[in-house]
Chains A and B, each alone.
Chain A
Amino acid sequence: MNIIVLLKQVPDTTAKISISSGFMDESTITKWSMSPYDEFALESALQLKQNCNGNLIAITCGPDRCSKMLTDAAAVGTDKLIHIHHEGYLDSIQTQTLLAAAIKKFEGEVIMCGKQAADTNSGSTGPGVAELIGASCITHVSEVKYENEELIATRLNSLGFEIISTSPPSIFAFDKGVKELRRPNVRGIMMAKKKEITRLTPEDLGASLTNSNINLISQMPPSEKAPGQKYEGTDSIHEIVSKLRDEANVI
């Protein structure tokens, strides 16, 4: 079985984001990481690969820097690495088009991804790619098992847990999974160093980036929180109570 995990490299959660001329300035970001929900998808994909003796392919789309994340994925046991190379901004539809074309090319049957990326939070990759390749899509998944040639997913909804069975082709978009991404070991790291990364351009995939009808107008930082207020001594009790009651509406 061909299992594909879709990975996105995002600014590390500790990175400082700065905006210049209305857009995020990538050059100031010093640390990039695999998006956390994608890590859960990768861990589940590794387990599925072991359970069904499958072949695990990691696909990412983005600039040169993304290669490192693929090597990290190889260090924990990914078999094949695909880097769809594109420098510069890609909107959700363009990204989905490229990923869908690569999934078709490598004949992916079970596809796993994070439910949303830590940077854009758009949450559209799983459903968008599913639409393009005609696969079922199960979102907010915490676990996927392979039993009797069926894929059994656990997902959390507002009522509790749901258990859903499906058969390939299927896309699973991961929420926080049951198991954190495994740690690599030295052996894995040394194997990963030797693993070739297949680099493809949008043209190689026959994918057109011109059919997108969305346009990113500008980006801006969130407004700063107002500073806290500090009161000391019993004299301020009346003021605090009235503020909590009338301004904060908590009592």
Chain B
Amino acid sequence: MDYEALDFYEIDSLLTDEERMVRDMVRDWVDEEVIPNIENACREGVFPDEWRVALGEMGVLGAPLQGYGCPGLSYTAYGVICRELERGDSGLRSFASVQGSLAMYPIWDFGSEEQKNYYLPKMASGEWIGCFGLTEPDYGSNPGDMITKAEDIGDHYLLNGAKMWITNGTIAEVAVVWAKLGSEIRGFIVEKNDPGFTAPEMKGKHSLKASVTSELVFQDCKIPKDRILPGVKGLRGPFSCLNNARFGISWGAIGSAQACFHSAKDYSMSRIQFDHPIASYQLVQNKLAWMLREITKAQLLAYHLGQKKDAGNWIPEHISLAKMNNVDIALEIARVARDIHGANGILDEYPVMRHMANLESVKTYEGTHDIHNLIIGRHITGIQAFTREA
């Protein structure tokens, strides 16, 4: 059955011609190259290298960045790309999010001219994969207390510490790593072969199985002086990257939800029980109607947020709301879709359980669901509730 993206309010009609062409390009690629291969990639626990090449050839990496070989698309187009990729798999979208928003963006925004010219063209073409090191084993929601530190040793920096849950870590040529220089958080560009740097892969995930997740370990890792990001100090650096990645996730989750809806609709129309398709029963229709309702609302949130991002009149709390809501409903839609598929829903013949397991990670990473609630809570009340200290 050909994929028909649910778009009840015809929100895609608001996209520009260019955005729609980019959508069709990515959607066709996902249909032809990703969907037929994703289950195998998950079983083997690999991110197929052909996908890196294809993303580079399509020119979608670092979508909204201008110059230095980057595509220069709108943020809305970036959202559409994330949505279409995540319709295939959240692990694929994670690859693109990390490459564009977390590795390329900080170099583009905070890097020196030399750093931009050296790294960005090769990252936009997909030749070099990037990763982003912020989270540590003991510091997830609270990155400000990170213990990874950099020391100024005259002609170089020395990096010590460890990062965890790093998408693309083991396959990356370039890592943007956040570490404390004195008491201040700074960004450093670490290259794969830097002495004292290793990136062992984390195994045993039940989620995002087609995505590489790693630790980054720094033991007296020597970094040349010109690899510090000169343009930013403090948590503002990593947080501005996260804003862009979370924006992409708010669109991406819709893609997963659309895939689950599509599968649940098809399945319920053809699955006969008690002599009739299960889609003809009120309980199933109620579930499908609820899915359509939540997807439509999520689409409106994402589209409007895209317009605000492109116009530059957004605040991080706007992104928190969309990330939190859209991932939350996508996960719930995946669970309900799994339910509609009955026992068949647990098989990899259908995409629903894979999306469901993926979305459990997506709900947690890039600011957990609860942390986004606290961000909005602080916005409403002016009182931060992250810590017990004032």
Contacts and interface: CB of A to CB of B under 8 A. Distances in A.
Nearest to A187: B59
A189 B29 contact: no
Nearest to A67: B17
Interface in B20-42: 21-22, 25, 28-29
Contact of B28 (A71, A183, A190): A183
Interface in B34-90: 57-60, 63, 71-73
How many chain A residues sit at the interface, stated as a range, is 10 to 19
A223 interface: no
A168 interface: no
Nearest to B71: A186
B21 A184 contact: yes
Contact of B25 (A14, A68, A71, A185): A185
A70 B329 CA distance: 39
Interface in A36-89: 68, 71-72, 75
Contact of A190 (B2, B4, B18, B29): B18
Contacts of B60: 186
A193 interface: yes
A173 interface: no
A192 interface: yes
A186 B22 contact: yes
Interface in B135-182: none
A121 B57 CA distance: 35
Given A68-B17, A75-B21, A192-B21, A186 B59 contact: yes
Given A71-B17, A183-B25, A183-B28, A190 B57 contact: no
Contacts of B29: 183
A75 B24 CA distance: 12
Contact of B18 (A183, A185, A193): A193
A192 B22 CA distance: 12
Interface in A172-200: 183-187, 189-190, 192-193
B57 A185 contact: yes
A190 B72 contact: yes
A189 B21 contact: yes
A81 to B, nearest CB: 14
Contacts of A187: 59, 71
A191 to B, nearest CB: 11
Given A68-B17, A71-B17, A183-B58, A189 B25 contact: yes
B2 A71 contact: no
A186 B17 contact: no
Nearest to A186: B59
Nearest to B19: A189
Contacts of A185: 25, 57-59
A75 B18 CA distance: 10
Contacts of B59: 185-187
B230 to A, nearest CB: 29
Contacts of A75: 21
Given A183-B25, A183-B58, A189 B2 contact: no
B58 A14 contact: no
B36 to A, nearest CB: 15
Nearest to A188: B59
B22 A189 contact: yes
Given A183-B58, A190-B72, A14 B2 contact: yes
Contacts of A72: 21
Nearest to B73: A186
A75 B29 CA distance: 15
A223 to B, nearest CB: 25
Contacts of B71: 186-187, 190
A189 B57 contact: no
A182 to B, nearest CB: 10
Contacts of B63: 186
Interface in A121-165: none
Given A14-B2, A190-B72, A184 B18 contact: no
A132 to B, nearest CB: 34
Nearest to B28: A183
Nearest to B20: A68
10 contacts: A183-B28, A183-B58, A184-B21, A185-B58, A186-B58, A186-B60, A186-B63, A189-B18, A190-B18, A190-B71
Interface of B: 2, 4, 17-18, 21-22, 25, 28-29, 57-60, 63, 71-73
Interface of A: 14, 68, 71-72, 75, 183-187, 189-190, 192-193
Q: Which 8 A-B pairs have the closest CB atoms?
A: A186-B59, A185-B59, A186-B71, A189-B21, A185-B58, A193-B18, A14-B2, A187-B59
